[in-house]
Amino acid sequence: MWDVEIRGMASAHAIIASSIFMATVMPAVFVENFSVYGTHMVWLYCVAGSVAVVNIAVFWLLGISPPTKKNTLSYKINRLFKSCLYFVLSCLFFHTVVVLYGAPLLESALETFSLAVLLSTLTTLRCLCILGPNVQAWIRVFSRDGAMSVWDTSLQITTGCSVIGAWLGAFPIPLDWDRPWQVWPISCTLGATTGFLTGLLAAPVWIHWHRKQLTYKLK
């Protein structure tokens, strides 16, 4: 059973990772002079949109989301509304955190908010896909020994790697290297994306390596 779950996770992660590659390559066909640096906002939203669509599709097809107790239309609409609200609040939260860490408050506000959107897509959207709009479940997963499935552990790893990647990406910005990727927030978005890809790769490997020590219990 472990091997089946880990292989399924690895396949899902490979599909999600390939969506980032496609979002980097495909816009060059439609956007003149497209590049990750020169047209960074276009690239950023292509990646965010691609990851969002593929995440939702993959987790819906795999049936990873927790089962709902009600199947009424009003309940589904309310669930969708709460998910959208949580995503928007997540964008505002990340925007506030980034500003508190030294990003310009008014100057480059669009770029800062775009970074927040990307971070929310790489972290919060996966929480919504795997756990649903259930804050208690989110707190449980990110607490000590709170994971109850391999997907919970995967969520912990990819979320942590994405946030750490964005944080590490900020270090080169003040250095006097005059590189195009030092323009705000390019290095942070590249760091977050690289961290996310690292998490996608590391999660199934780490779970497979520690599968004998992992014991998931219903709480």
Residue of 141, 154, 147 lying closest to 12 (CA atoms): 154
* Residues 200, 16 contacting (CB under 8 angstroms): yes
Residue of 29, 7, 36 lying closest to 185 (CA atoms): 36
Whole-prediction pTM value?
Answer: 0.91
pLDDT at residue 160 in the model: 96
Stretches where the chain sits below pLDDT 70 are 1-2, 65-70, 215-219
Paired tokens of 126: 């996966």
Paired tokens of 73: 């239309």
pLDDT at residue 4 in the model: 80
Q: Quick one: which H or E segment has residue 152?
A: helix 150-169
Tens digits of per-residue pLDDT, 54-99?
999 999 888 876 666 667 778 888 999 999 999 999 999 999 999 9
For CA atoms 123, 124, 126, 131, give the dihedral sign.
positive
pLDDT at residue 1 in the model: 54
Phi and psi based region of residue 143 (left: phi greater than 0; alpha: psi -120 to 50; beta: remaining): beta
Give the type of residue at 86.
Y
Domain ranges across the chain: 1-218
CA-derived radius of gyration, the chain: 18
* Residues 62, 8 contacting (CB under 8 angstroms): yes
In the predicted model, what is the mean pLDDT of the chain? Answer: 89
For CA atoms 89, 9, 46, 157, give the dihedral sign.
positive
Work out the burial of residue 153: count CB atoms within 10 Å of its CB; fewer than 13 is exposed, 13-18 middle, 19 or more buried.
buried
